[in-house]
Amino acid sequence: MEIVLPPEVEALVQRQLTSGKYNNAIEVILAGIKLLEQQDIYQGRLQELQQEALIGWEASQRGEVVDGATAMAQIRAKMRSRYGASEA
């Protein structure tokens, strides 16, 4: 595959090479692709967290809440069962 970069992208690659951070253009391009992959992963996780937050908000609006001490006890119990953690 041969790719022709627009001048502004070529200049960006050249700046990265000049910085000494990368040895060649392929390394710069691969770093950019890896960042895109990470962004996709983070975006997916953000959407999951937003959905979980919405579920929690809706539950709180219905009065389905627990006090802080109860919530912490539930979290500790879950951690103990999942990881075998001892009482802290």
Count Cα neighbours of 30 within 13 Å in the Cβ-side half-sphere: 7
| pTM for this predicted structure | 0.61
- Range list of H helices, 2-67: 7-18, 25-61
Nearest to 71 by CA among 49, 82, 61, 56: 56
For residues 13 and 4, give the distance between their C-alpha atoms in angstroms, rounded to a whole number.
13
Q: What is the pLDDT of residues 4-48, one digit of tens each?
A: 999 999 999 999 999 999 999 999 999 999 999 999 999 999 999
3-state secondary structure of 23: coil
For residues 56 and 72, give the distance between their C-alpha atoms in angstroms, rounded to a whole number.
16
Q: What is the pLDDT of residues 45-74, one digit of tens each?
A: 999 999 999 999 999 999 999 899 999 999
For residue 37, the model assigns a pLDDT of: 98
For residue 1, the model assigns a pLDDT of: 84
